[in-house]
Chains A and B, each alone.
Chain A
Amino acid sequence: MSLMGFAKVVLKNLFTGPVTEKYPFVPKVYPQGARGSVNIELAKCIFCGICQKKCPTAAIVVTKEPKAWEIDRLRCISCNYCVEVCPKKCLALDTKYAPVTITRTTDKFSAQPVA
């Protein structure tokens, strides 16, 4: 590299800031459509179980009686397949990932009427 080119790069680097994001001080912005964790809008769900049948990793368990929808977040690979097949369009992928955990638990959503 010629000396001129070298000087140009040095000067450019002096005046442009770092390329990396200052996470966690600057929050990470995920692009629209990024595949994160699965969310359910329970009021719309009819508990048909199609998502359970289609999920390639068997992360979802749907029970009809009592009405419940359960997901194992550590099994889910955020593939978006359940979202595509749901007839009621009550599932959606968040752009954020599921929070970090150290134990294997499932997230259970049940639609039991309040007694």
Chain B
Amino acid sequence: MSERTIIPFGPQHPVLPEPIHLDLVVEDEKVIEAIPSIGFIHRGLERLVEKKDYVDYVYVAERICGICSFIHGLTYCMAIEELMKVQVPDRAQYLRLIWSELSRIHSHLLWLGLTADSFGFESMFMQSWRLREYILDIIEETTGGRVIFGSAKIGGVRRDIPLAKMDEIMKKMRVYRKDVAALCEQFMKDQTVKHRMRGVGLLSREDAISLGAVGPMLRGSGVAQDIRMTGYSGYDRIGFTPITETAGDCYARCMVRVREMDASFQMIERCVEQMTDGPIEVKVTGNPNGEFFMRSEQPRGEAIYYAKANGTKFLSRLRVRTPTFANIPPLLTALAGCQLADVPVIVLTIDPCISCAER
């Protein structure tokens, strides 16, 4: 038996901007075990519910994550709406769906670039971030912000997208859809990509279920579970089917994301066709009372918001479980037995967002 060594990976690492620390126990070049430590960037955002009233907290919830900001704000709003028994108007639900799917596309494009970059495919990084910029432009035109949308509010949305603008956007989106598809095809058909990803970082279906994997990590192992199937915020009306792959390796997880991007473009298109004019918000009065669990599907997987209110304008407890946090145990299983050089690739295929995991 060769000697065991511990190699620290992160919290600052050239390929990974996310501050996760892994102690890799290696034997020669083979990783035997990975021991994680997190907590470098804890911000205490959950505690802030005691200081910010439930309406203002939407702004804080949006800042939990810089990528899926909109869906965080949305999930929080939906939790409070359930507590207060507010029925959100149809148009607002469709608008929320459009913005959620736009976030998914831009998040997956960001991930595609970072993953390609992790094994030195830098021109792919450049191209996918170029396309992501166009999506961000659409977001800025419709919400006024590029990263923090600021458009979700309890009882509806803050802004409407006028009809003329919607047509203009859809015209652009059809072009982007083709560009994104072409880019993804380049990536997925590349020999080097296949070589680096096929059979690497395996996670079996059983492991994925028992370790509680979520999102593309779970669906890449063949489990058809997606919170959008529950039909929140209008997903039930546009006909949603989850996307799965069965191989359970890095390549399968990439394939899930690539196919999801195309599905998102489709969903936005269907959504725009179905949308009718109408109010975009209802007036909310009073204070929330009771407790509620809200689940939503973020680009990285399922997020859970637990809100407990006591009839005052300050919630007494808010708990957020983000997808990356749930994906760390499956990641450790996928890492065991891999080659040291594959560690960045495997870590990136869970699409880690440590800042939101630590809140």
* Chain A residues at the B interface, C-beta cutoff of 8 Å: 1, 19, 30-35, 56-57, 77-80, 84, 93
Contact = CB atoms under 8 A, between A and B. Distances in A.
21 contacts: A1-B186, A19-B130, A30-B140, A31-B141, A32-B141, A33-B141, A33-B159, A34-B144, A56-B56, A56-B59, A56-B60, A57-B59, A77-B59, A77-B148, A78-B150, A79-B150, A80-B144, A80-B150, A80-B158, A84-B158, A93-B144
B144 A33 contact: yes
Contacts of A93: 144
Nearest to A57: B59
A80 B59 CA distance: 11
B52 A56 contact: yes
Nearest to B52: A56
B236 interface: no
Contacts of A31: 137, 140-141
A34 B140 contact: yes
B145 interface: yes
Contacts of A77: 59, 148
Contacts of B130: 19
Contacts of B140: 30-31, 34
A78 B306 CA distance: 28
A94 to B, nearest CB: 11
Nearest to A34: B144
Interface of B: 52, 56, 59-60, 130, 137, 140-141, 144-145, 148, 150, 158-159, 186
A75 to B, nearest CB: 12
Contacts, number: 32
A33 B150 CA distance: 12
B34 to A, nearest CB: 36
A35 B186 CA distance: 36
Nearest to A32: B141
A79 B144 CA distance: 9
Contact of A35 (B59, B137, B150): B150
A33 to B, nearest CB: 5
Contacts of A79: 59, 150
A84 B141 CA distance: 19
A56 B59 CA distance: 8
A82 to B, nearest CB: 12
A93 B60 CA distance: 20
Contacts of A33: 141, 144, 159
Given A1-B186, A56-B60, A79-B150, 7 more contacts: A19-B130, A35-B145, A35-B150, A56-B59, A57-B59, A77-B59, A93-B144
Contacts of A78: 145, 150
A74 to B, nearest CB: 16
Nearest to A30: B140
Contacts of A84: 158
Nearest to B134: A19
A86 B355 CA distance: 35
A19 B130 CA distance: 8
A35 B145 CA distance: 6
Contacts of A32: 141
A98 B266 CA distance: 38
A35 B150 CA distance: 10
Which 8 pairs between the two chains have the least Cβ-Cβ distance? A35-B144, A56-B56, A31-B141, A56-B59, A33-B144, A34-B144, A79-B150, A35-B145
